[in-house]
Amino acid sequence: MLIEHEGVAPRISEDVYVAPTAVVSGDVQIGKGSRVLFGAVLTSDGGPVELGDYCIVMENAVIRGRAGYATRVGNHVLIGPHAHVNGARVHDNAFLATGSSIFPGGDVGARSEVRINGVVHVNSRLVADAVVPIGWVAVGDPAQLFPPGAHEELWAVQEDMDFSQTVFGVERVDDVSTHMREITRLYADLFRRHLSDQVVG
C-alpha cells in the first residue's frame, strides 16, 4: 500500500517490488531493483526515508524517518524480518539480521553485520566491517560492544548518549508517570498527522 502523507507520495524506482501487505508512507524513496516484502513498513514521520538500489527489506521490518533524523540506507543492504531502523544511517553492503534494532542517530558502517537481535544504540557509530554478535549491544562513537547482561558496563557508556531526548524529544525525569504522559502526548501529536493521509497505490 502506497500512502501520501502530508502531501508527499513515495517515489519508487523501476523494477521495485512492494508486497501488497507492505506499507510505504510519505517522503520515502526506493532505489532500483529493491524488494519490500510482506508486512514491512517504510514511513516518514517528520524525516525522509531513502532506500538505495537492490535493497531487500524482509517481512515485518520497520524503517522510519523522524524529525532531525532522516533514515538513509545504502545500496545492496539486506534488512531481515522484524528488524527496526529508526532515524539511522546504514551504509552499503550491510546486513541487519532478524530482530536487529538501529536507533535514532545510529550509523552502521559499510559491510557491517548486526546479527540476530543485535542493537546499535542512539547516536552510536558502528565502524565499517564491524560485527555485532547475536543479542549484543553496540553503543558509543565509535561503538563499543557489550554482551547481553552487561547492564552496568553498558550504562556507563549509554548514560551520556541521551536516549530520552534523542528518541522522544524530552528530558528524562525520575517520575515515570510524568515522563510517560509527556512522551505519549508528544507521540499522539506526531501520529495525528496521519489522519489526512491518502492511499495512492
Written in H, E and C, the secondary structure of 149-165 is: CCHHHHHHHHHHHCHHH
Burial of 152 (0-12, 13-18, 19+ CB in 10 A): exposed
Instruction: Record the pTM.
Output: 0.91
Q: Where are the domains of the chain?
A: 2-199
pLDDT at position 158, please? 81
User: Among 119, 96, 104, which residue's Cα sits nearest to residue 161?
Assistant: 104
User: In the prediction, which pLDDT does 156 show?
Assistant: 85
Please give the chain's pLDDT, 201 residues, in tens.
999 999 999 999 989 999 999 999 999 999 999 999 999 999 999 999 999 999 999 999 999 999 999 999 999 999 999 999 999 999 999 999 999 999 999 999 999 999 999 999 999 999 999 999 999 999 999 999 999 988 888 888 888 877 888 888 888 888 888 888 988 988 888 888 888 899 998
pLDDT in the model for residue 167:
85
pLDDT of residue 159: 80
β partners of residue 24: 2, 42
Looking at the domain 2-199, which fold is it?
Answer: UDP N-Acetylglucosamine Acyltransferase; domain 1 (2.160.10)
pLDDT at 27: 97
Grid cell locating 117: 537481535
d(CA 15, CA 30): 10
Where do we find the cell 515522563?
A: 179
Are residues 154 and 137 in contact, defined by beta-carbon separation less than 8 angstroms?
yes
Helices (H) and strands (E) in the chain, counts: 3, 24
